[in-house]
């Protein structure tokens, strides 16, 4: 990922991916798995996103994420290899505790849909896919816990305020400030589930409990 200390910008993504693709082609590697981000969808309207959702880069970050995926995909085109692209959402876990950020009123103010991936669940998805479909070609999978939650609901839960279960068609307060670059989308993971993979941590509340936080049980939308 880009390092501010090194002065990196987002172009590091496609440059690194191009190097990896060139190495794979030179070595005749027949199977490549690349971890990308659901940020590539860049939705801000609270809509569902699947692997078939249209990607229309509107800034340097999204363009770089998309270009990196395209560089990796060339391995399949050149060598009839298997390429899996895993788009992970909201990575968290040990040494990556999001509790303070999630309880921040500034996050709740935008009232956006948030998506999460427990670190070890992403690892298990990677291992699972490496042994799953080895047919030549490019396949894309979203990787998340499959339980999108509104930022306001998460913040209310963590601060002990009254909670309301999220609704599938809740509206977003367009007047509330939303940090630039923050997605507002609901990531669908049916494609990954169809391969037989299952998350061990089904909601961010379960993950926060594993990190040692006292989180009350909250009703979840189906």
pLDDT at 75: 93
Percent of the chain with pLDDT over 90: 65
Judge whether residue 117 has pLDDT over 90: yes
Q: Which tokens in the block code for residue 196?
A: 């037989």
Q: Which tokens in the block code for residue 195?
A: 């391969």
* CA–CA dist 155, 161 (Å, integer): 8
155: nearest Cα among 206, 219, 96, 215: 215
Hey, is 211 helix, strand or coil? coil
- pTM of the prediction? 0.86
* CA–CA dist 5, 23 (Å, integer): 27
Residue located via tokens 């049980």: 217
Residue 90 CA neighbour count, 13 Å, CB half = 27
| Whether the Cβ atoms of residue 115 and residue 97 lie closer than 8 Å to each other | no
Convert the pLDDT of each residue in 184-210 to its tens digit: 999 999 999 999 999 999 999 999 999
Per the prediction, the chain carries an average pLDDT of: 86
- C-alpha torsion angle, residues 156, 203, 141, 62 (rounded to 10): 20
* CA–CA dist 39, 33 (Å, integer): 18
Residue located via tokens 């894309």: 140
pLDDT at 222: 41
Helix (H) or strand (E) holding 88: strand 82-88
């Amino acid at each position: 990922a880009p390092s501010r200390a090194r002065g990196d910008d987002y172009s590091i993504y496609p440059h690194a991916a191009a190097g990896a693709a060139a190495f794979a082609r030179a070595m005749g590697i027949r199977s490549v798995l690349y971890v990308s981000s659901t940020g590539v969808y860049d939705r801000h309207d609270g809509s569902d996103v699947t692997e078939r959702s249209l990607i229309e880069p509107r800034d340097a970050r999204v363009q770089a994420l998309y270009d990196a995926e395209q560089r990796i995909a060339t391995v399949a085109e050149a060598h009839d290899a298997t390429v899996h692209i895993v788009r992970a959402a909201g990575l968290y876990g040990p040494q990556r505790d999001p509790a303070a950020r999630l309880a921040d009123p500034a996050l709740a103010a935008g009232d956006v849909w948030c998506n999460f991936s427990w670190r070890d669940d992403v690892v298990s998805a990677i291992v699972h896919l490496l042994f799953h479909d080895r047919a030549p070609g490019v396949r894309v999978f979203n990787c998340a816990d499959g339980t999108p939650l509104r930022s306001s609901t998460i913040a209310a839960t963590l601060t002990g305020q009254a909670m309301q279960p999220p609704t599938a068609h809740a509206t977003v307060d367009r007047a509330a400030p939303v940090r630039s670059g923050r997605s507002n989308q609901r990531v669908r993971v049916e494609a990954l589930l169809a391969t037989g993979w299952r998350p061990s941590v089904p909601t961010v509340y379960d993950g926060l409990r594993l990190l040692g936080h006292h989180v009350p049980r909250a009703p979840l939308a189906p």
